[in-house]
Amino acid sequence: KPLGLPGAHVVVTGGSSGIGKCIAIECYKQGAFITLVARNEDKLLQAKKEIEKHSINDKQVVLCISVDVSQDYNQVENVIKQAQEKLGPVDMLVNCAGTSVSGKFEDLEVSTFERLMSINYLGSVYPSRAVITTMKERRVGRIVFVSSQAGQLGLFGFTAYSASKFAIRGLAEALQMEVKPYNVYITVAYPPDTDTPGFAEENRTKPLETRLISETTSVCKPEQVAKQIVKDAIVVTMGLFRTIALFYLGSFDSIVRRCMMQREKSEIANKTA
Ligand SMILES: NC(=O)C1=CN([C@@H]2O[C@H](COP(=O)(O)OP(=O)(O)OC[C@H]3O[C@@H](n4cnc5c(N)ncnc54)[C@H](OP(=O)(O)O)[C@@H]3O)[C@@H](O)[C@H]2O)C=CC1
Ligand SMILES: CCCCCCCCCCCCCCCC(=O)[C@@H](N)CO
């Protein structure tokens, strides 16, 4: 059943710029309440003003919270608590905070591998970990992960970036198997190059090979990418290649469901005993 965005609480990490900001606008246009999470407070306020221009009723709210999603789990958990106190339980979380650095393997600092893994991977784990329990209890929720085309294909110059985006896929697929019986749905977006401040920054240091590979496809508009991501999150459909694994996944899902029912039964038995 599609998630209704009117009145829903949508948290967007990386919501102050680029694709994340456009996702926030898209959800706001459909009547959602928004929490924007990013580090820089000026950019957050700027984005809030821009989003508020698209309101469709006078009850809608855009809340801004400044935090680094990649550093400390307890901080991130507190931010989610604050957001829930103001705007109610999170119906949809969009993990869009992320960054990219390109360069040949031997030219990239070792610290860059650590940083990209922290921001792109752990920065998606922490907010998701902070919302999942409530989503399972309410039997309502959507979590969106933003990977990349470079998260499906390892590409020249992206040894650090691609790995951090592949990691997201592993997390998302495993998590989906856990939460499906609770009516919580996970989607992963794999966007191509998109015209954002982050993309402009990335282009300043791109190796020639990476640039030429990138130029074989055209650059998308962030509004267009955001629209697709929101649509996929609301109406969850299955990609074609997923059907191949369908048989296996179906039988794994039934194991998970059976265990859930067994566990609930024995909990009831324990209570009445
Ligand atoms: N643009 C592209 O070509 C593509 C982008 N993507 C992915 O989409 C996502 C968004 O990209 P794009 O819109 O280009 O990025 P931008 O650089 O334009 O925006 C990034 C956003 O994330 C926030 N952010 C970055 N680091 C952190 C952090 N540690 N903690 C909290 N917030 C953070 C930024 O705010 P602040 O700096 O203030 O914290 C900003 O709001 C990224 O995950 C990117 O990898 C995927 C495919 C293609
Ligand atoms: C199986 C289907 C995949 C088909 C793809 C062919 C792709 C070749 C070109 C890829 C360009 C690189 C994209 C990286 C975008 C990105 O994440 C950065 N721009 C972030 O800033």
CATH number for the domain spanning 41: value is 3.40.50.720
Distance 256 CA to ligand 1 centre (A): 34
* Residue-number span of the structural domain to which 215 is assigned: 9-237
Q: Are 176 and 116 in the same domain?
A: yes
User: Is 3 inside a domain boundary?
Assistant: no
User: Is 2 inside a domain boundary?
Assistant: no
Entry pTM? 0.93
Q: Are 224 and 260 in the same domain?
A: no
Q: Are 85 and 150 in the same domain?
A: yes
The residue nearest atom 14 of ligand 2, judged by CA position, is 150
Beta strand segments in the chain, E: 9-13, 33-38, 62-66, 92-95, 141-146, 184-189
Q: Are 269 and 201 in the same domain?
A: no
Q: Are 185 and 82 in the same domain?
A: yes
CA-based torsion, 160, 163, 169, 170: positive or negative: negative
User: Is 35 inside a domain boundary?
Assistant: yes
Sheet with 141-146: list strands edge to edge: 62-66, 33-38, 9-13, 92-95, 141-146, 184-189
User: Is 113 inside a domain boundary?
Assistant: yes
* 248 has pLDDT over 90: no
Q: What ipTM goes with this model?
A: 0.97
Q: Are 28 and 130 in the same domain?
A: yes
Q: Are 232 and 251 in the same domain?
A: no
Average pLDDT of the residues in 61-68: 98
Q: Are 144 and 270 in the same domain?
A: no
User: Is 118 inside a domain boundary?
Assistant: yes
Q: Are 90 and 212 in the same domain?
A: yes
Q: What is the pLDDT at residue 245?
A: 59
Ligand 1 pocket by C-beta < 6 Å: which residues?
Answer: 13-14, 16-20, 38-40, 43, 68-70, 96-100, 119-120, 123, 146, 148, 191, 193-194, 196-199
Question: 184 is written with which tokens?
Answer: 């919580």
User: Is 242 inside a domain boundary?
Assistant: no
User: Is 1 inside a domain boundary?
Assistant: no
**Residue closest to 221 by CA, chosen among 245, 191, 249:** 191
How many angstroms separate the CA atoms of 132 and 153, rounded? 29
CB of 34 closer than 8 Å to CB of 61 = yes
Q: Are 124 and 253 in the same domain?
A: no
Total number of domains in the chain: 2
Q: Which ligand is nearest to the CA of 189?
A: 1
pLDDT in tens, 142-165: 999 999 999 999 999 999 999 999
Q: Are 201 and 116 in the same domain?
A: yes
180 Cβ contact partners less than 8 Å away, ≥ 6 residues apart: 253, 256
Distance 228 CA to ligand 2 centre (A): 16
User: Is 66 inside a domain boundary?
Assistant: yes
* 241 has pLDDT over 90: no
